[in-house]
Structure 1
């Protein structure tokens, strides 16, 4: 599956991913200690929902526009973060994870971004020029290992690849295992698309065998039954999520499920521990 950010900006997966990222970082920021936030596949950082690539899929109508039409106050933080990059009343621009993370930074926090594609990296530098973010143009998995343990005592690594390569899941699994050996207490967030349950179950089995103690999986299945051969949803693996985050998660997930359920479907958005 090729999942380039620019074609899918503001879709249902983005709404869930970015809502949870906001909640996760804010839970960690309940402690004063500095955080290092690392995005290994940062993309362009900002997307035009009226642009050719986004218009070609039209997925934002089932994502960010649904979130803005909803009235649940649990989505207020997400809506405010999107609105912050737009003129009042518009939802034309959609912030990628780098812009969401930049909005969350405190003076003591650090933001490190990486994007391997040269054109996207160039665009990312322009989009982030008003921030203190460091932008790298390296292999994502090499950077992931090189940056942990973080210089600050706490940190978050966000891994959000386009799944262009057939070995993407294998590289994630191997790098996560190596990174965890170096940085067992670190927080890692791995985004993934959902297409077929059996294939995904095989990957979860391999990840379970890594023996990582605190390994949460959040899965958003859009339809009440799998739709063959198409995108069926997305999820997040979260290593070492803070207690404050997991305690507040159930009502947020229900709010997101209700806002994003396709017409005629209830959908499913759940969080479970991945353990033996």
Structure 2
């Protein structure tokens, strides 16, 4: 599956991913200690929802536009992050994870962004001008390990690849295992698309075999029954999520499910610990 950010900006997966990222970072910031935020596959940073690539899929209509049309109060922080890069009531631009994370920075925090694709890296530098973000143009998995342990005592690594390569999941699994050995207490967020349950279950089994003690799985399935051969939703693996985040998660997930459910479907969104999930 090729999941270039620019084709899918503002879709349901972005809404879930960015809503949860905001909640996660805010929970970590309940403590004053500095955070290092690292985005390994940063993309362009900012996307034109009226642009050719976004318009080709039209996915924002079932994502960010639904949130703005049905303003559930638990999604206020997400809406504010999108509104921050827009003028007017309806969003024309969509902030990628780098922009969302930059908005959350406190003076003591640091933001490290990486994008290997040369054109996207150039766009990213432009989008992040005026922010304190450091931008790299390196192999994502090499950078992931090179930046660990973070210079600050606490940190978050966001791994959000396009899944263009057939070995993407294998590289994530191997790099996560190595990263956990170097940085066992760190928080890692891994985004993934959901296409078919069999492939996904095989990957979950491989990640479970890593025996990482605290790995939360959040899965958002759009349809009541799988739609063969198409995008069915997305999820996040979150290593070492803070207690304040997990405690506040159930009502936020329900708000996301209700807002994003396609017409005629209830959809499902759930969270469980990987080592307790025997499915």
Q: TM-score, normalization: structure 2?
A: 0.98
Q: Map of 1:48-197 to 2, 5 A cutoff? A: 48-197=48-197
Q: Map of 1:231-250 to 2, 5 A cutoff? A: 231-250=231-250
2:32 pairs with 1:9? no
Q: Helix, strand or coil for the counterpart of 1:220?
A: strand
Deviations 1:73-96 (A, max 9, x none): 000000011000000213000000
Could you tell me how far apart the structure 2 residues matched to 1:179 and 1:71 are? Answer: 38
Could you tell me how far apart the structure 2 residues matched to 1:225 and 1:88 are? Answer: 37
Q: In the alignment, which residue of structure 2 is the partner of 1:214?
A: 214
Q: In the alignment, which residue of structure 2 is the partner of 1:38?
A: 38
Q: TM-score, normalization: structure 1?
A: 0.99
Contact 2:68–2:90, Cα closer than 8 Å, also in 1: no
Per-residue deviation, 1:72: 1.2
Could you tell me how far apart the structure 2 residues matched to 1:204 and 1:127 are? Answer: 35
Could you tell me how far apart the structure 2 residues matched to 1:218 and 1:43 are? Answer: 22
Per-residue deviation, 1:71: 2.5
Q: In the alignment, which residue of structure 2 is the partner of 1:268?
A: 268
Could you tell me how far apart the structure 2 residues matched to 1:11 and 1:196 are? Answer: 19
2:74 pairs with 1:47? no
Q: Helix, strand or coil for the counterpart of 2:275?
A: coil
Per-residue deviation, 1:70: 1.3
Q: Which structure 1 segments of 5+ residues have no match?
A: none
Could you tell me how far apart the structure 1 residues matched to 2:124 and 2:202 are? Answer: 34
Deviations 1:22-81 (A, max 9, x none): 000000000000000000000000000000000000000000000111121000000011
Could you tell me how far apart the structure 2 residues matched to 1:250 and 1:148 are? Answer: 31
Question: Any runs of at least 4 consecutive aligned residues in structure 1 with deviations exceeding 4 A, and if so which?
Answer: none
Could you tell me how far apart the structure 1 residues matched to 2:168 and 2:44 are? Answer: 20
Per-residue deviation, 1:166: 0.1
Query: Aligned residue pairs: how many?
Result: 276
Q: Helix, strand or coil for the counterpart of 1:199?
A: helix
Q: Helix, strand or coil for the counterpart of 1:275?
A: helix
Q: In the alignment, which residue of structure 2 is the partner of 1:26?
A: 26
Could you tell me how far apart the structure 2 residues matched to 1:7 and 1:235 are? Answer: 18
Could you tell me how far apart the structure 1 residues matched to 2:228 and 2:72 are? Answer: 32
Q: In the alignment, which residue of structure 1 is the partner of 2:252?
A: 252
